[in-house]
Amino acid sequence: MSTLITGSTGLVGSALKNFFPNAICVSSKDANLTDPESTFRLIQAYKPDIVIHLAANVGGLFKNMNDNVDMFTKNIYINTNIVDACVKNQVTKFIGCLSTCIFPAKIEYPIHENVLHNGEPHESNFGYAYAKRMLEVHCRVVSEQYGYKYKCVIPTNIYGPHDNFSLTDGHVIPALIHKAYIAKRDGTNFSVAGSGLPERQFIYSADLAHLIYKLNHHMYDWVSPMTIAEQTEHSIYDVAKIIGEYFGVWERTEFNTNLPDGQHKKPADNERLIRYINDFKFTPLEVGLRDTMDWFVKNYDKARK
């Protein structure tokens, strides 16, 4: 059975290749997924049995807030084109990757998959969230109309090696790692955006890749969409402290409360995942962060930033 992975050079794709050593791994160099013809030709050329779709236009809080139009349109094009190309080429299995930030902003916690469309997402990632929601809708209607297995996973905040460590566009963990690296190098303060009070569920990229691998082998069994999360929440303060202590800059850390926090809390229910895979051991945050920081320091010159 042949597997094609889009976004294979990114955070999750790089980890997934360890579990799918024979997969067809493609990136933006192989096709422009915002273009329908380019996307169709890609799928037509390989005719895979299953596509694991990770490619997306992604970024942290400030990229989402500043580039709402771009985040919406590019992701709509990418997701629509890849699903359409797969259907036209009779690819019968598909796993798309969403994000917990697409859930409604005003909701009871913990968040369950069934409430995905029960209200607007948080304004800080409005465009991105709606584009990702439409991927879930597209997969659902394809499954219903054609009998294919098109499913979606909803991971919480992913981190790990090969992330985008941009100071402006990166997600919270890679951006903090880069900031701490610079603070150590230059002898400056370690500045953390916001109060540090918001809490998040984080998942190490290798754990997410391993779980996708498990789900791929049981496509007929699990219910879509499925939240991929560890139950434990960690505050941004606690994450910053681990990172700051690793680089030896925690004593000169400052929290910039003039910058927004985003949602303060949005715990996701992982009951559906645990019901299906109940023996999985998640990587502890301290271990995953250390491995990520070790990788970043070693690969600083070539890391995305």
Cis peptide before 36 (omega within 30 of 0): no
**103 and 112 Cβ atoms separated by less than 8 Å:** no
The active-site residue out of 46, 77, 128, 213 is 128
**111 and 103 Cβ atoms separated by less than 8 Å:** yes
CB neighbourhood size of 205 (10 A): 25
The enclosing H or E element of 158 equals strand 157-159
CB neighbourhood size of 46 (10 A): 17
Distance CA 134, CA 141 (A): 11
Q: Which two tokens stand for residue 291?
A: 């491995």
Q: Which two tokens stand for residue 65?
A: 């807030």
Distance CA 204, CA 69 (A): 29
Distance CA 103, CA 113 (A): 8
Distance CA 209, CA 207 (A): 5
Distance CA 232, CA 285 (A): 10
Q: Assess whether 128 carries a catalytic annotation.
A: yes
Distance CA 207, CA 18 (A): 11
> By three-state DSSP, how is residue 65 classified?
helix
The enclosing H or E element of 152 equals strand 149-155
Q: What are the residue numbers of the active site?
A: 128
